[in-house]
Chain A
Amino acid sequence: QKEVEQNSGPLSVPEGAIASLNCTYSDRGSQSFFWYRQYSGKSPELIMSIYSNGDKEDGRFTAQLNKASQYVSLLIRDSQPSDSATYLCAVNTNTGNQFYFGTGTSLTVIP
């Protein structure tokens, strides 16, 4: 089992809709969770970090964490074509003190 799993997509949503990106992780002791956005040909850039159960909002982005279900998600409200990118979930695990990335979900926002 991989440490971090994401649906690779591609995920397509119309402009203005809510995009929902999901991520599961295997290490129950994980403490830190991150979402990165990566445009084609560019390096990953941090969107949000979340450490506690519940929701964390930042502008159009909301991260949701459920440690009991070992699940973290990212919601993008009012999706824009400029949101089209690959979204990487990253988890910092306690075991081995390691930072693991998922394989990423490709999102396309259709004008």
Chain B
Amino acid sequence: SAVISQKPSRDICQRGTSLTIQCQVDSQVTMMFWYRQQPGQSLTLIATANQGSEATYESGFVIDKFPISRPNLTFSTLTVSNMSPEDSSIYLCSVAQARTDTQYFGPGTRLTVL
């Protein structure tokens, strides 16, 4: 499976600011996804990062709040904009070679918003 890294691994941010999370894969992958995992909860898909086009967002998530970039097949970023304490969560990227294929997860970014 691919080796996936995320930066930063954790951060503490002030309300109203924005944070950009990076996801880097050591090989080209077709699919990249961004998930949120709130404390004690399961994974919620935020969006699918599409290379060269706009991300596909799930219900309840919008581009203005969670802009995503995917400039190539090995890299993606997720920005959490205008943060509030409710955005405190673990953010995970995952990769797969097809939408129906096994997903592998990065180590996650633990975000705390004060």
- Seen from chain A, the residues whose Cβ lies within 8 Å of a Cβ on chain B are 31-32, 34, 36, 41-46, 49, 88, 90, 92, 97-99, 101-104
Contacts and interface: CB of A to CB of B under 8 A. Distances in A.
B42 A99 contact: no
Contacts of B99: 97, 99
Given A34-B102, A101-B42, 5 more contacts: A34-B103, A43-B105, A92-B100, A97-B100, A99-B100
A90 B104 CA distance: 12
A97 to B, nearest CB: 5
Contact of B43 (A44, A97, A98): A44
A42 B106 CA distance: 9
Contacts, number: 43
Contacts of B53: none
B102 A43 contact: no
A42 B110 CA distance: 10
Contacts of A42: 107-108
A44 B92 CA distance: 9
Interface of B: 1, 33, 41-43, 45, 90, 92, 99-108, 110
B92 A43 contact: yes
Given A88-B42, A101-B43, A103-B41, A46 B100 contact: no
Nearest to A31: B100
Contacts of A102: 42
B62 to A, nearest CB: 19
User: Which among B90, B99, B100 has the greatest number of chain A C-beta atoms within 10 A?
Assistant: B100
Ranked nearest first, the 10 interchain pairs of A and B with the lowest CB-CB distance are: A43-B105, A103-B42, A43-B108, A101-B43, A92-B100, A101-B42, A44-B105, A43-B107, A97-B99, A104-B42
User: Which among A43, A44, A45, A98 has the greatest number of chain B C-beta atoms within 10 A?
Assistant: A43
Contacts of A36: 105
